[in-house]
Amino acid sequence: MTSHTLHFIKNAIVVAIGIWLSACGESPNSHAPATVDNNINYPIESGGALINAMTGEPSGLISMIAGESASAAISSNIFNSLLKYDKNLELEGDLVASWQISADQKTITFKLKPNLKWADNQPLTSADVLFTWQAVIDEKTASPYASDFQLVKKAETPDPLTFSVTYDQAYAPALDSWAGLQILPKHLLLGQDLHTSAFVRKPVGSHYYKLDNWAHGENLKLSRNANSVLGQAKIDKLITRIIPDNSAQFLELMADNIDLMGLDPIKYSRIIPARPELQQKLALYKELGNSYTYMGFNLKHKPFDDVRVRHAINYAIDKQEIIDGVYLGLGINIASPYKPGTRWSNPALTPYPYDPAKAKALLKQAGFVDTDGDGIVERDGKPFAFEIVTNQNKEREKSAVLIQRRLKDVGIDVKIRAIEWASFISRFIKTGDFDVVVLGWGLGLDPDQFNIWHSSQQAPGQFNFIGYNNPTVDKLLEQGRLELNPDKRMKIYHEFARVLLEDSPIVYLSAGYGLTAINKRVKGIDNPAPPAGIGHNSHEWYIPTPLRRNEISAH
C-alpha cells in the first residue's frame, strides 16, 4: 500500500468520525417548536396530554385484588376512597365530607359528599361503600388486604349519604385502611366474581380520570372524567406507556416521547447534570419514600440472639459508605422504621455510628476472640461466619458487598447469596432457613407495624420472619392499635422505635430517595416536594398550549 492511499484512508476515517461526532452532538430532536422557552411563566389552562412510562403492566385495575404498584398507579386515578392524605400527610375527606368517631372509639360514621356520581352517571351512595366492604372481606375475593376490614363487626347505611362501621374494640389503623380502600360501583359488580369480571380491564370509577383504552402490553389511555367527584383535573389525557427497560424509557424521555419517568441515582446525579440539553428540558425532583433497606438477623439462630453481637455488627457497618457508594448520596441514614420528618419518626433517636473499635470490644465481650490468628474471630473454637441472603436487586447486592468488607475488618467472615425473588421467599424467608438477610420494607402511612414486629406474627408466611420477640414491643404495638388520639399514639410509636433501636434486631441501612424527572412543559409541580410527594396535586399540573406536543393535540 502506498503512503498516498494510507493518507487517504486516514483522512476518510477522520472525516467519518467528525461527521459521526457532530451528529451525536446535535441536541435531540424535540417535537415542540424549538423557539418555545420552557422557563417563562405561562397562565394556568387545561388541556393537553401527559405521557408517562411504567416498567410493568397492571394485572388488572381492581386494587383490592391486584396488589402490584403498577395497578395502584393507574387505579388511583380512576377510583376514590372514603379518605385521603393531604400534602402534609394528614387525613382529609375524599368521597366523604366529614367523619366522626364515637366516644368509645369503636364506631366511625362517614358522611358522603352530596350528589356524587360514577363516570357512567349513576349515583354513588353509601350502598356502594357497603358493597365494597362486603367484597373485600368476601372469602371468594381472597383479597390480600382483607384483614383490616374483617375487624369491622357491623357496617350500616342508615341513609344514602351515611356509612358507619363498628369495631369490636377501638382500632387505630382503621382510618388509614379506609383511605386505602378504593370504592367500587355496586351497580356494575353485584353478583360478579371480581377475579373474572371484565370490569378488571374496563373499570368505571369516580375520580379525575376514566379509562378510554387499554392496548395490552403497549399503553393505557385515560381521559378526564366529566363526573369527577373532586372537580376537574387540568390535564386532559393521561397516557401511560409500558416500557419494561429502563434504558429504553430514558431514551424515550430524551427524545421527548414521554414526559415523566422514575430515575436511578446514576441518571439523576451523573447523566442528566452532565448534559446541558437534558438539563434544559427536564426538571428533577427528589422525595423521601416510605421505605427503607435493612439487614435483618435471624434471632432464633446463635449468636444473633446475643444483643452484644447485634450491636457489634451495627457499629461495624458504615452506613454512610453504603449511601454514598450504592445510592450516590441519594439516601439518608435512619434510626426508626418511619419516614423521617413525619409525626411518627422519633427525632430524638440517632443511628448507630460507624465505630469498628467498639464493635471489636463488644465481640470480645460476647466471647469472640481471634485465637488462631487467621483474622476471623472464634467462640468455642468455631469461627464467626455467616451468609447474607438477598434477592437479585443490584442495590441490595452492592450493599451486601460493602457490609461484607466492613465485617471482615472486625473479624467476621461473610458470604453473600443473591437469588431470584420467588425462590428467595419460599426457600429462605418462609422456612426461616437463613442467618442474615438484606431486604427492604415499603410501608403504608399508618404507624402500625404489628405484622412485622409482634411476637405472634412468626408463623411461616407471616412477616416477623426474623423471630423478634420482645414483650415491651408487643405491648406498645397492641397499645398503638387501640389509641386513636394522634398525639398519644405518637408517643407510643416513639417509644416503640426507641426500644427497637436499642435492641437492634435489624440494622437500618438507608432510606433512599424517590427520584423523578419531568419534562419542563409540565407546570404546577411543587418543588421541593411536600411530605406527601410531588404527586399529591397532580390534578393541578398543567401543560401550557405552546408547550404541548403537536401530534397529540392534533387528534
Partner 1 sequence: MLKYLIKRVLWMIPMLIGISLISFFIMHLAPGDITSNEAAFNPKASEESRQKLREMYNLDKPVIVQYSLWLKRMVTLDFGKSFASHQKPVFWQTTDKDGNVTKGLIQEALPITLMINLLGLGITLILAIPLGIIAARKYLGWQDRSITLFNFIGFSIPGFWLSLLLMYWLGVVNNWFPISGLHSLNYESLDTWSKLKDSLSHLFLPVIIPSITGLAGITLFVKNGMLDVLQQDYITTARAKGLNEHKVVYTHALRNALLPLITIIGLSIPGLIGGSVIAETIFAIPGMGKLFYDAVLMRDFPVVMGILTIGSALTLVGNLLADVAYAWADPRVRRGVARG
**Of 179-238, which residues contact partner 1 (CB under 8 A)?**
180, 195-198, 200-202, 213, 215-219, 221
Q: Which residue type, as a one-letter code, is found at position 389?
A: V
> Which of positions 241-270 make contact with partner 1 (CB under 8 A)?
241-245, 247-248, 251-252, 254-255, 257
For residue 247, give the 3-state DSSP assignment.
helix
Closer to partner 1 at the Cβ: 102 or 451?
451
Q: Which of 125, 293, 399, 449 binds partner 1 (CB under 8 A)?
A: 449
Nearest residue to 239 via CA among 225, 221, 215, 252: 221
**C-alpha cell recorded at residue 278:** 437534558
- Contact indicator for 154, 166 with CB cutoff of 8 Å: yes
461 near partner 1 (CB under 8 A)? yes
Shortest spacing between CB 417 and partner 1, in angstroms: 14
312 near partner 1 (CB under 8 A)? no
Number of residues engaging partner 1 in binding (CB under 8 A): 74
169 near partner 1 (CB under 8 A)? no
x/- track of binding to partner 1 for residues 407-446 (CB under 8 A): -------------xxxx-xxx--x----------xxxx--
> Which of positions 103-142 make contact with partner 1 (CB under 8 A)?
139, 142
CA distance linking residue 349 with residue 85, whole number of Å: 26
For residue 287, give the 3-state DSSP assignment.
strand
Which uninterrupted H or E stretch holds 94? Answer: none
Shortest spacing between CB 506 and partner 1, in angstroms: 14
x/- track of binding to partner 1 for residues 504-543 (CB under 8 A): ----------------------------------------
Q: What is the CA radius of gyration of the chain?
A: 27
In degrees and rounded to multiples of 5, residue 61 shows phi and psi of -115, 15
Which residue spans within 181-304 are E strands per DSSP? 209-215, 219-224, 237-242, 260-263, 282-288, 291-297
> Which of positions 88-107 make contact with partner 1 (CB under 8 A)?
none
Closer to partner 1 at the Cβ: 18 or 158?
18
* From 54-62, 482-490, 498-506, 540-548, span contacting partner 1 (CB under 8 A): 54-62
Closer to partner 1 at the Cβ: 22 or 121?
22
Closer to partner 1 at the Cβ: 360 or 548?
548
User: Is the alpha carbon torsion for 239, 242, 248, 250 positive or negative?
Assistant: positive
Neighbours of 548 (CB within 10 A): 19
Q: Which of 105, 127, 130, 145 binds partner 1 (CB under 8 A)?
A: 145
User: Is the alpha carbon torsion for 143, 144, 149, 150 positive or negative?
Assistant: positive
Nearest residue to 547 via CA among 26, 208, 41, 52: 41
Give the contacts of 179 (CB within 8 A, at least 6 positions apart). Answer: 81, 82, 83, 84, 85, 91, 94, 445
Closer to partner 1 at the Cβ: 24 or 348?
24
Closer to partner 1 at the Cβ: 76 or 157?
76
